[in-house]
A and B are shown apart, each in its own frame.
Chain A
Amino acid sequence: MRLAALAVAALLALAGCGGSDAPKASTTAAAKPPLRIGTKNFPEQFLLGEIYKQALEARGFPVELKANIGSSEIIHQALTDGALDMYPEYVGVLLSEVANVRARPRSPDAAYRRAQAFEAARGFALLAPSPFSDQNALAVTPAYARRHHLRDIQDLKSVAGTVRIGAPPEFQTRFEGLVGLAQLYGLHNAKARALAIGRQYAALDSGRVDVAAVFTTDGQLANGRYVILRDPRGVFGTQHVAPIISRTALSRYGPRLRAIIDSVSRRLTAPAMQRMNAQVQIDRRATADVAGEFLRGQGLK
């Protein structure tokens, strides 16, 4: 696989140039300042943060987790400012909302390379991506779909009046939001209603909104209570998760850090993610417990 080869190449390169640092890293890791990991403002991110944190701590790397910072716009700025060392980002969102790439990449691989190049140019590294992809999507209740004969996003145009979309505030200004919907589908009768992430299902149920912007790995989608509108024109890109980390942090902690993070990322499959999301969002289990259980199951803790 090209991706894996690339990761290995990067690893080797790092090992080559930071060879002298390698022995030091293992002996003095504990004395170094903790690795500051940030997460965005929704449950899946909290889970990812806990998983990386616990995996690194199990190997003796000190970690400071700064959970619930905010949307990509602000957390990426914080990373750029040096307030964070690393955070897990969705490749598609990174490209469309941060790198401002409007053209939809041909493949997940292409998207990843593009994103990697973007981060490398600003002094950051994009680590190995997760197998799962948590795409953005638009969901409606089955009743609403039946009433307006909805199958894909295109069908929303024919809905009479305004289509109220419950979404995080940034939906208003994002390409993967009203901007892209208008450009690719000509959807001009939609209005975004800002909601905290996770509240959109309740708003949908109560009829305060007609459509909800959701993540495809959301636990609430598991039991068929909602219908996902198809996205034939691909306004929502694939969203594999890859941690963005500063070069400074990478060289400070040595290649072992990257190896651990990559080995975690590679085990984040779609079923595993959806199961963990459901445990947190529906079963109301503690994020840290769910993350720890997953790592133990994978032999990473």
Chain B
Amino acid sequence: MTRAPQGSRLVRRTLRTPITTRVLLLSATASVLIGAVMVVLIVAVTAQRNAARSAFRSQEALAAGNQLEKSLITIENGVRGYVASGREKFLDPANEALTSYPGEVRRLISLVDDDPGQQARARDIGGEIDDYVTLWARPLIGLARTRPAAARSVVITNGGRERLDTIQRDFASLFARERVVINAREDRAEMGSARAIAIGVGGLALVLLVAAGVTLYLRRSVVRPVVTVADATGRLAGGDLSARVPARRHDELGDLARGFNAMADSLQRSRDQLEHSNAELKRSNAELDQFASVTSHDLQAPLTTISMYAELIERRHAADLNGGMALVDGIRGATQEARTLIRDLLEYSRAGRGELALEEVDARELVARALEALAGPIEAAHAHVNVRADLPVVRVDRAGVCRVLQNLIGNAVKFSVAGRPPEVEIGAGRDGDMWRLWIRDNGIGMDPKDAERIFEPFKRLHGEEAYPGTGIGLAICERIVAQHGGRIWVTSRLGEGSEFSFTLPGAEA
């Protein structure tokens, strides 16, 4: 396996054009664009509104000018009527107009104040009107009061008409100019509104285009790489450690991809190592079992021979030995013990190996067979065994599970408190999709901290003198249960009995 490059080097930060910067730049550009479009639009709409407003003002100016002209004609007609007839009633409308005309002049001047040329014209007209009023109309009225005949002779000169003609000519030029201004303004307003609409539509299109561009860009350069990495992550989680992603980019997403690849590399390395050590472990376990099996088997023959020789000595030379007979008994006892040990060891090394002969069996039948096998010890211990009626049908290796039950029930009877007849209860219950079988006793129990250790081979909590046995029974049970895919455990307190549980697959599984 080649050495993987260092993750830190692979996942180094790329500062050339980080995606954050690019997205930021993109959003900023889009914002500026949209802002610019808005500003232009506002300017266009404002210009259009101003143009429309000033066109309206011009119309008002025309109206004001017409009103002023009308006032002047009213004055002239009133004065003439008065001079000709001497009747004051002719003056009433003229007097009214004489009062109102200065305001009308001011209004006209203020209405054309957006055009200096027009305002100068309006001021000139105002001056001419003042002259007409102060140098013609009012003096003529005064003259008519004192010397009507002289006033009549003055009227004949038509001085007032001439002044009015001049004023009307100036009005005409003011109006003509104002109409030109109105037309220009209306054109401008129309153009402005057309431009505002065009800019609005164009701006909208531009904004949509930019939005689409940003979306496409984000899809292509952010979403797609992220999705690729997510897919690869899913494959990795599903166990495909060969999943990798392309990592050519020089931005955060490139960093992400490289980080992902580094992580996948590291995972693959770990799994390879784990598989390797697992295989090693299996092999050494198998060798060890093989060794134990072979050794036990090979030891049986010499032990049988020793035991046979000890019997021969006893049978043929018992009379010659005298006190030596006790030594021969010692040899026989030790040999028997060694043979038991080797038998158990062999059984342990075989347990959990080889094929399981799975079949559906009623647990009650299994329990019954175990109790039958233990009939002797149960009888001897005056034990009372209670089997619950609701034991399930399980799918197991009949001999193996029988061995487990026999072992556990045997222990429950064996590890009893002196002077207290053992009470054993056997039952079952659901444990997930498995069945849990339990054997409860009122024996000596154990410290809860020992509950794990007792399933290790040759582990004993008590001396052999107190409770005989090789200490391998529970280890064998553990192997058989484990081979069925179940587990075994104990809950107990010192002096208060124990409850051993193990799980087995149900018949329906």
Please list the residues of chain A having a beta carbon within 8 angstroms of any beta carbon in chain B. 38, 41, 66, 68-71, 73-75, 77-78, 80-81, 83-84, 97, 168-170, 172-174, 194, 196
| Chain A residues within 8 Å of B157, by CB | 41, 70-71, 168-170, 194, 196
Give the CA-CA distance A164 to B482 in the complex, in Å: 157
Q: A169-B156, A194-B156 are in contact. Are A74 and B139 (CB under 8 A)?
A: yes
Residue of A74, A83, A194 near B159 (CB, 8 A) is: A74
Give the CA-CA distance A252 to B135 in the complex, in Å: 22
| Chain A residues within 8 Å of B152, by CB | 173
Q: Determine if A69 and B135 form an interchain contact, defined as CB atoms under 8 angstroms apart.
A: yes
A-B contacts, 20 of them at CB < 8 A, read A69-B159, A70-B135, A70-B154, A70-B157, A70-B159, A71-B157, A73-B143, A73-B151, A78-B134, A78-B136, A78-B138, A81-B134, A81-B139, A83-B134, A83-B135, A83-B139, A168-B157, A173-B150, A194-B157, A196-B157
Task: Give the nearest-CB partner of B143 in chain A.
Answer: A77
**Nearest chain B CB to A78 CB, angstrom units:** 4
| Chain B residues within 8 Å of A38, by CB | 135
Report the number of A-B residue pairs with Cβ-Cβ less than 8 Å. 71
Task: Give the nearest-CB partner of A169 in chain B.
Answer: B156
Which residues of chain B (126-142) have a CB below 8 Å from chain A?
A: 131, 134-136, 138-140, 142
Q: Determine if B153 and A71 form an interchain contact, defined as CB atoms under 8 angstroms apart.
A: yes
| Chain A residues within 8 Å of B312, by CB | none
B89 interfacial by beta-carbon distance below 8 Å: no
| Chain A residues within 8 Å of B136, by CB | 69-70, 74, 78
Give the CA-CA distance A57 to B153 in the complex, in Å: 35
Give the CA-CA distance A80 to B146 in the complex, in Å: 13
| Chain A residues within 8 Å of B205, by CB | none
| Chain B residues within 8 Å of A170, by CB | 150, 153-154, 157
Give the CA-CA distance A97 to B131 in the complex, in Å: 24
B327 interfacial by beta-carbon distance below 8 Å: no
**Closest 8 interchain pairs by CB?**
A77-B139, A83-B134, A169-B156, A78-B139, A73-B150, A170-B153, A77-B143, A70-B159
Which residues of chain B (361-388) have a CB below 8 Å from chain A?
A: none
Give the CA-CA distance A69 to B151 in the complex, in Å: 14
**Nearest chain A CB to B457 CB, angstrom units:** 129
| Chain A residues within 8 Å of B153, by CB | 71, 73, 169-170, 172-174
Q: Determine if A66 and B131 form an interchain contact, defined as CB atoms under 8 angstroms apart.
A: yes
Main secondary structure, interface of B, reads helix
Q: Determine if B159 and A77 form an interchain contact, defined as CB atoms under 8 angstroms apart.
A: no
| Chain A residues within 8 Å of B138, by CB | 78, 81, 83
B149 interfacial by beta-carbon distance below 8 Å: yes
Which residues of chain B (2-17) have a CB below 8 Å from chain A?
A: none
Task: Give the nearest-CB partner of A179 in chain B.
Answer: B149
Residue of A66, A173, A174 near B135 (CB, 8 A) is: A66
Give the CA-CA distance A84 to B2 in the complex, in Å: 117
Give the CA-CA distance A200 to B269 in the complex, in Å: 131
**Nearest chain B CB to A38 CB, angstrom units:** 7
B147 interfacial by beta-carbon distance below 8 Å: yes
Task: Give the nearest-CB partner of A84 in chain B.
Answer: B135
| Chain B residues within 8 Å of A173, by CB | 149-150, 152-153
Give the CA-CA distance A70 to B153 in the complex, in Å: 11
Give the CA-CA distance A70 to B156 in the complex, in Å: 11
Q: Determine if B135 and A78 form an interchain contact, defined as CB atoms under 8 angstroms apart.
A: yes
| Chain A residues within 8 Å of B135, by CB | 38, 66, 69-70, 74-75, 78, 83-84
Q: Determine if B139 and A169 form an interchain contact, defined as CB atoms under 8 angstroms apart.
A: no
| Chain B residues within 8 Å of A174, by CB | 153
Residue of B131, B142, B149 near A77 (CB, 8 A) is: B142
**Nearest chain B CB to A283 CB, angstrom units:** 25
**Nearest chain B CB to A252 CB, angstrom units:** 18
Task: Give the nearest-CB partner of A70 in chain B.
Answer: B159
Known contacts A38-B135, A66-B131, A70-B136; 20 further A-B pairs (Cβ under 8 A)? A70-B135, A70-B157, A70-B159, A73-B150, A74-B135, A78-B136, A78-B138, A81-B138, A83-B134, A84-B135, A169-B153, A169-B156, A170-B150, A170-B153, A170-B154, A172-B153, A173-B149, A173-B153, A174-B153, A194-B156
| Highest count of chain B CB atoms <10 Å: which of A74, A78, A80, A169 | A74
Give the CA-CA distance A147 to B149 in the complex, in Å: 35
Q: Determine if B159 and A41 form an interchain contact, defined as CB atoms under 8 angstroms apart.
A: yes
Task: Give the nearest-CB partner of B141 in chain A.
Answer: A77
| Chain A residues within 8 Å of B134, by CB | 78, 81, 83
**Nearest chain B CB to A67 CB, angstrom units:** 10
**Nearest chain A CB to B35 CB, angstrom units:** 54
Give the CA-CA distance A27 to B158 in the complex, in Å: 43
Give the CA-CA distance A83 to B139 in the complex, in Å: 9
**Nearest chain B CB to A77 CB, angstrom units:** 3
**Nearest chain B CB to A56 CB, angstrom units:** 20
| Chain B residues within 8 Å of A73, by CB | 143, 147, 150-151, 153-154
Give the CA-CA distance A84 to B139 in the complex, in Å: 11
Q: A81-B139, A81-B142, A84-B135 are in contact. Are A74 and B154 (CB under 8 A)?
A: yes
Give the CA-CA distance A213 to B257 in the complex, in Å: 117
Task: Give the nearest-CB partner of A83 in chain B.
Answer: B134
Task: Give the nearest-CB partner of B134 in chain A.
Answer: A83
**Nearest chain B CB to A180 CB, angstrom units:** 15
Task: Give the nearest-CB partner of B157 in chain A.
Answer: A169
**Nearest chain B CB to A53 CB, angstrom units:** 16
**Nearest chain A CB to B417 CB, angstrom units:** 135
**Nearest chain B CB to A36 CB, angstrom units:** 9
Give the CA-CA distance A68 to B139 in the complex, in Å: 14
| Chain A residues within 8 Å of B147, by CB | 73
| Highest count of chain A CB atoms <10 Å: which of B135, B140, B149, B151 | B135
Give the CA-CA distance A37 to B147 in the complex, in Å: 24
Task: Give the nearest-CB partner of A194 in chain B.
Answer: B156
Residue of A77, A84, A172 near B140 (CB, 8 A) is: A77
| Highest count of chain B CB atoms <10 Å: which of A66, A80, A84, A170 | A170
| Chain B residues within 8 Å of A78, by CB | 134-136, 138-139
B232-253 interface bits toward A, Cβ cutoff 8 Å, 1 = contact, 0 = none: 0000000000000000000000
**Nearest chain B CB to A17 CB, angstrom units:** 29
**Nearest chain A CB to B152 CB, angstrom units:** 8
**Nearest chain B CB to A276 CB, angstrom units:** 24
Task: Give the nearest-CB partner of A71 in chain B.
Answer: B154
B110-134 interface bits toward A, Cβ cutoff 8 Å, 1 = contact, 0 = none: 0000000000000000000001001
